[in-house]
Structure 1
Amino acid sequence: MVENIQLTGLVLKIVRIDNPVIGFLEEDARHLHHSHNDALVVSIQIGDYNTHRVLVDNGSFVGTLYYSAFQQMRIGREQLIPTNVPFVGFGGTRVYPLGTVTLFVTIGDYPQQITRDVAFLVVDYSSAYNAILGCPTLNLWKAVTSTYHLMMKFSTKYRVGEVRGDQVVARKCYIAMLEMDNHFSTTCIEE
């Protein structure tokens, strides 16, 4: 009969690092097919949902959540804060959002992860992506991206966290977006 249990061996303590150096090494790109011009497409947790096909776009001035993903998250439309300011989407099209919603987003793997509230514009527009992370979010996270490495790194309390892009998914999204553009072009020609 066991009356008491003792831990033996070493218990590693995670050291807090206040200002880690963020860098990329050639080995960070070892599993990629080179040469490539693929977008950085990642999977992150938005609210309570693991969300795939999230485009990381350093050139976007806003975070975007597409309405189809918003619906799948079972968030009530009453949580949207109305907005009537349009923004310019891909190809110069003017997009009117349904509203804004703030959701908590978690990136990285424990313990090198961060969770922050992120404001998204919700748009009812066709896309191969579920969401787009733009500059405001990347700056909030102090994230550094590398399209060559298809990776995003960011500072956490316990070293540098990272999120790797999925090259196969990025290529599938690219093809899907091309097919959407071809469909829209065909529609315009028929008119």
Structure 2
Amino acid sequence: MAQIDNPIIGFLEEDARRLHHPYDNALVISVRIRDYNIHHILVDNGSSADILYYLAFQQMRIERERLVLTNAPLVRFRGIIVYPLDAVTLLVTVGDCPQQITKDITFFVVDCSSTYNAILG
């Protein structure tokens, strides 16, 4: 499995050249986190944080001992402040061989409802 130190994941206008896209929909992807294929992950380049929702954290059966104390507040839409439970660093793989990137990402674990399992900021 190839590993790149500082990968850049991006999309150019030429990537969408032959696509018909009359909507401005969110980019929602699936990635591999630890040993799990996680679906419904929002890619939000306007966010400065990577977030893992607590329900997904529980379903992945990650030991609570892996959580690291954090006190960084997160500001949601409409200015609502959310305090993460803690943070956890997990191995994330995006893409398929031979074009894939594997990297450790530190997620803030947030206990609130969402239609997504995670947000990659």
Q: Deviations over 1:66-95 (max 9, x none)?
A: 000000000011110011221101221110
Find the counterpart in structure 2 of residue 50 from structure 1.
37
Find the counterpart in structure 1 of residue 78 from structure 2.
91
- Structure 1 segments, 4+ long, off by >4 Å, are none
Asked if residue 68 in structure 1 is aligned to residue 66 in structure 2, the reply is no
3-state DSSP of counterpart to 2:25: coil
3-state DSSP of counterpart to 1:107: strand
Find the counterpart in structure 2 of residue 59 from structure 1.
46
Find the counterpart in structure 2 of residue 112 from structure 1.
99
Find the counterpart in structure 2 of residue 176 from structure 1.
none
Structure 2 letter corresponding to 1:43: S
Structure 2 spans left out of the alignment, 5+ residues: 1-10
- Return the index of the structure with the highest Cα Rg: 1
Of the two structures, which has the highest relative contact order with CA contacts closer than 8 Å and spacing of 6 or more?
A: 2
Structure 1 spans left out of the alignment, 5+ residues: 1-21, 135-191
Aligned equivalents of 2:72 and 2:45: distance in 1?
21
Aligned equivalents of 2:119 and 2:75: distance in 1?
14
Q: Deviations over 1:78-119 (max 9, x none)?
A: 110011221101221110101110000000110110100000
Percent identical among aligned pairs is 59
Per residue, is there more strand in 1 or in 2? Answer: 2
What is the number of equivalent residue pairs in this alignment? Answer: 109
Among 133, 141, 160, the alignment partner of 2:120 is 133
Per residue, is there more helix in 1 or in 2? Answer: 1
TM-score between the two structures when normalised by the length of structure 1: 0.55
3-state DSSP of counterpart to 2:57: helix
TM-score between the two structures when normalised by the length of structure 2: 0.85
Cα RMSD, aligned residues only: 1.3
Asked if residue 101 in structure 1 is aligned to residue 103 in structure 2, the reply is no
